[in-house]
Chains A and B, each alone.
Chain A
Amino acid sequence: MLNITINGKEMRAPEDQTVLQAARAAGAQIPTLCHHDALSPYGSCRLCVVEIVKNGRGRIVTSCNYPVEEGLSVLTDSKKVLTHRRMLMELLLARCPDVPIVRQTARKMGIEKPRFPQGKSDCILCGLCVRVCEERIGASAISFVNRGTEEDVSAPFNISSESCIGCGACASICPTGAINMETVQGLMRITRFNTAKQLHLCPSCGKPYVTELHLGWIGSRLGPHEHLTSLCPECRRMANARTMRLVRASVGPAAAMRAAAAPGNGTSAGQ
Chain B
Amino acid sequence: MRIESIQELEKLRKTLLNEMKKAKTRIRICAGTGCRACGAQEVIDAFRKEAEKQGLDLGVEIKGTGCHGFCERGTLVVIQPKGILYQTVKPEDVPEILSATVEGGEIIDRLLYVDPVSQEKITYEKDIPFYKKQKRLLLGMNPDIDPTDIMDYIACGGYSALGKALTQMTAEEVVAEVKTSGLRGRGGGGFPTGTKWETCRDAPGDLRYVICNADEGDPGAYMDRSLLEGNPHSVLEGMIIGAYAIGANEGYIYVRNEYPLAVENARKAIEEAKECGFLGEDIFSTGFEFDVKIARGGGAFICGESSALMTSLEGKPGRPKAKYIHTVKKGLWERPTNLNNVETWANVPLIINNGSQWYRATGTEGSKGTKIFSLVGKINNTGLVEVPMGMPLREIVYGIGGGVPGGKKLKAVQTGGPSGGCVPEDLIDMPVDFDQLTKAGSMMGSGGMIIMDENTCMVDVARYFLNFLKDESCGKCLPCREGIKRMLEILNRICEGRGVEGDVALLGEIAQTVQETSLCALGGSAPNPLLTTLKYFGDEYVAHVRDKKCPAGICKDLIAYAISEEKCNGCGACAKACPSKAIRGEKKKTHVIDHDLCTKCGICAETCRKQAIAAA
Measuring CB to CB, which residues of chain A are less than 8 angstroms from any residue of chain B? Answer: 41-46, 49, 60-62, 65-67, 80, 83-84, 87-88, 91-92, 94-95, 115-117, 125, 143-144, 146-151
Contact = CB atoms under 8 A, between A and B. Distances in A.
A94 B510 CA distance: 13
Given A62-B322, A149-B470, A91 B477 contact: no
A115 B325 CA distance: 36
A147 B474 CA distance: 5
12 contacts: A44-B478, A46-B477, A65-B324, A87-B479, A88-B513, A88-B517, A91-B478, A95-B482, A115-B506, A116-B486, A116-B489, A149-B482
Nearest to A86: B513
B478 A60 contact: no
A148 B489 contact: no
B94 to A, nearest CB: 46
Contacts of B324: 61, 65-67
A116 B488 CA distance: 12
B429 interface: no
Given A44-B477, A83-B513, 10 more contacts: A42-B476, A43-B476, A45-B477, A46-B477, A62-B322, A87-B513, A88-B478, A144-B476, A148-B471, A151-B481
A49 B486 contact: no
A83 B510 CA distance: 10
B252 to A, nearest CB: 23
Nearest to B318: A147
Please provide the 4 A-B residue pairs with the shortest distance between their CB atoms, ordered closest to farther.
A151-B475, A87-B513, A91-B482, A148-B473
A67 B326 CA distance: 12
B519 interface: yes
A94 B475 CA distance: 16
A45 B478 contact: yes
Contact of A87 (B485, B510, B519): B510
A143 B509 CA distance: 32
Contacts of A95: 482
A15 B319 CA distance: 27
B317 interface: yes
Contacts of A150: 475
Contact of B517 (A46, A65, A116): A46
Contacts of B477: 43-46
A95 B471 CA distance: 17
B486 A67 contact: no
Contact of B509 (A44, A87, A92, A117): A87
Contacts of A143: 317
Given A115-B506, A144-B317, A44 B476 contact: yes
B498 to A, nearest CB: 12
Contacts of A67: 324-325
Contact of A117 (B325, B481, B489): B489
Contacts of B516: 60, 80, 84
B472 A88 contact: no
B483 interface: yes
A120 B587 CA distance: 57
A46 B470 contact: no
A91 B483 contact: yes
Contacts of A46: 477-479, 517-519
A65 to B, nearest CB: 5
Interface in B475-532: 475-479, 481-483, 485-486, 489, 506, 509-510, 512-513, 516-519
Given A65-B324, A117-B489, A146 B482 contact: no
B300 interface: yes
Contacts of A41: 322
B485 A149 contact: yes
A148 B475 contact: yes
A88 B486 CA distance: 12
B75 to A, nearest CB: 37
A225 to B, nearest CB: 35
Contacts of B470: 148-149
Contact of B486 (A94, A144, A148): A94
A49 B485 CA distance: 21
A146 B474 CA distance: 8
B481 A148 contact: yes
B388 to A, nearest CB: 32
A148 B474 contact: yes
Contacts of B325: 67
Contacts of B473: 147-149
B176 to A, nearest CB: 25
A84 B517 contact: yes
Contacts of B483: 87, 91
Contacts of A65: 322, 324
A88 B322 contact: no
Contacts of B509: 87
Contact of A147 (B472, B482, B512): B472
Contacts of A43: 321-322, 476-477, 519
A151 B479 CA distance: 14
Interface in B275-334: 300, 302, 317, 319, 321-322, 324-325
Given A61-B324, A91-B483, A92-B482, A148 B472 contact: yes
Nearest to B320: A43
Contact of B479 (A83, A91, A147): A91
Nearest to A95: B482
A92 B324 CA distance: 25
